[in-house]
Amino acid sequence: MAPQWCSHSIPFINIHSPVCSLSLTSGANMDPDTRRKFQSITQQQWGQLGYLDQDEATPTRGTIIDNSLPIFDQRTSWTLPAGMTDDQFQQFSNTLSPVFQLATKIAMSPASLEYFYYILYSARGELVELSSHHDSSTKRFAKTYSIGPEETARRVGAALERLASSLKWAFTNPETWPMEGSKAVTVWDTQNLSRPTMIMEDATCRGTPSRIHLSTTFLTTLESLHSQAGDNRNQILNVQFQMAKTILHELTHALDYAINNNAFTMATMLKNGHTVQTIPSTLKIEAREPYFEGEGIAELGCSWENYVFGGYVDWKFGETNTPSFVREWPSFLSEYEFTRGAPDSSPVRRQWVVPMTWLRRLHRQEFWDAVDPGDVRALHIPKSAYQELLNPNGGTTSS
């Protein structure tokens, strides 16, 4: 079968230095040679970003109130390893609960609610063909009429609650199918096609159930950080954030599949013996993810990140000593982006360090209490210190 997935292994070609080995712990622990590799970012900037100190007021679990969405329920929605004991489950749950709390807050933030609402309620426009690249024909959707933050939250909340009954999560070895080395993958759940998703008020709108696989690296990295000696709270906050945003990135894909009747039809045909080659191309196009507004790539997870955080948030996966970066999306800095969209002519792009001060704020209930429900820029990441990256395509038109 041919699952639909998104796969992110985004290599950077870095002008200034390889992004490596930055200690996210205190200044005393930070290797000066390592720090010098980030030539474009000064010591003073690292200090201002909150990387050279710890904030005593910030525990690794944060202070945000535990009201995780039912969609993250570890007993009902997660495929747990066979033979897991109660103690092991408790440890699993303790490690992950700050991640689900954070993911819940971000999912229900103004921009995320709006974006989910657009996926659910915006009409798909005419067929778009942006370039000669394969996979580039699909539909486009845009912002639809506004119904106000409160009603948006109510409708999206109801849709996510219904989605919870069909969505499955699992930690999967990154080397095995369907991961193929990615950090996360969303596949159509062909085991569950006898029960199409019905998450809209309109019960005729039936879609495809999804199974979301996350790399076990997330779990092992967090567990290893928790068990290490020394103060590594900064690293833990970074990994928790990366996992939360990856969960929501994949959930965005699952939400679209859940309302896509053509995806359901195609998944059913594949299950019944069709191959991608024998499926009519019109159906394949209708089953595909749409473009959002004027974006050059149809990739809803990245598009959601861009809408919520003001850019695509990247991290050298599993490398706890590197910070997260945010960059314009699409920025055409990766093979992944090249093969899916229009070429870009800029030879250089910037990526900004995600401030540790900002990551700490996300873990505080006071931050969320102060968010204005109408402010779709509430979670936009402040951009100050940056690196410049070379366009691997050399800034010329790709063929």
Residues 6 or more apart whose CB falls under 8 angstroms from that of 285 comprise 127, 137, 138, 139
Residue 301 or 341: the one with the smaller Cβ distance to Zn ion is 301
Q: What is the DSSP letter of 72?
A: G
- Residue 247 is inside which H or E element, if any? helix 233-259
Closest CA to 102 of 382, 358, 372, 374: 358
Task: Single out the segment in contact with Zn ion by CB under 5 A; choices: 130-138, 147-155, 222-230, 298-306.
Answer: 298-306
Is the four-CA dihedral 101, 104, 106, 108 of positive or negative sign?
negative
- Least Å distance, CB 334 to Zn ion, is 12
Residue 72 or 312: the one with the smaller Cβ distance to Zn ion is 312
Residue 301 or 323: the one with the smaller Cβ distance to Zn ion is 301
Evaluate whether 187 touches 257 at the Cβ level (below 8 Å): no
* Neighbour tally for 373: CB within 10 Å: 15
Residue 30 or 302: the one with the smaller Cβ distance to Zn ion is 302
Closest CA to 174 of 13, 8, 63, 339: 8
- Least Å distance, CB 304 to Zn ion, is 9
Indicate whether 185 belongs to the interface with Zn ion (CB under 5 A).
no
Could you check whether the bond before residue 178 is cis, i.e. omega within 30 degrees of 0?
A: yes
Q: How far is CA 116 from the centre of its chain?
A: 13
- Least Å distance, CB 230 to Zn ion, is 34
Closest CA to 63 of 309, 361, 308: 361
- Least Å distance, CB 150 to Zn ion, is 29
Evaluate whether 272 touches 283 at the Cβ level (below 8 Å): no
Residue 35 or 183: the one with the smaller Cβ distance to Zn ion is 183
Q: Which residue is nearest to Zn ion (CB)?
A: 6
Task: Count Cβ atoms within 10 A of the Cβ of residue 201 and give its class: 0-12 exposed, 13-18 middle, 19 or more buried.
Answer: exposed
Residues in the interface with Zn ion (CB under 5 A) total 2
- Rounded-to-integer distance, Cα 203 and Cα 185, Å: 28
Residue 301 or 311: the one with the smaller Cβ distance to Zn ion is 301
Task: Single out the segment in contact with Zn ion by CB under 5 A; choices: 114-122, 239-247, 282-290, 301-309.
Answer: 301-309
Residue 4 or 23: the one with the smaller Cβ distance to Zn ion is 4
- Among residues 110, 196, 296, 301, the one that binds Zn ion under rule CB under 5 A: 301
Task: Count Cβ atoms within 10 A of the Cβ of residue 203 and give its class: 0-12 exposed, 13-18 middle, 19 or more buried.
Answer: exposed
Task: Single out the segment in contact with Zn ion by CB under 5 A; choices: 2-10, 50-58, 166-174, 290-298.
Answer: 2-10
Task: Single out the segment in contact with Zn ion by CB under 5 A; choices: 85-93, 150-158, 204-212, 295-303.
Answer: 295-303
Evaluate whether 331 touches 349 at the Cβ level (below 8 Å): yes
- Least Å distance, CB 160 to Zn ion, is 18
Task: Single out the segment in contact with Zn ion by CB under 5 A; choices: 262-270, 274-282, 287-295, 297-305.
Answer: 297-305
- Least Å distance, CB 140 to Zn ion, is 17
Residues 6 or more apart whose CB falls under 8 angstroms from that of 369 comprise none
What binding mask, one character per residue, do residues 249-288 give for Zn ion by CB under 5 A, x or -? ----------------------------------------
- Rounded-to-integer distance, Cα 295 and Cα 330, Å: 7
- Least Å distance, CB 312 to Zn ion, is 10
What binding mask, one character per residue, do residues 4-43 give for Zn ion by CB under 5 A, x or -? --x-------------------------------------
User: How many residues are given for the chain?
Assistant: 399
Evaluate whether 329 touches 306 at the Cβ level (below 8 Å): yes
Strands (E), 152-206: 168-172, 184-188
- Least Å distance, CB 361 to Zn ion, is 26
Task: Single out the segment in contact with Zn ion by CB under 5 A; choices: 1-9, 62-70, 220-228, 377-385.
Answer: 1-9
Residue 174 or 301: the one with the smaller Cβ distance to Zn ion is 301
**Which residues lie near Zn ion (CB under 5 A)?**
6, 301
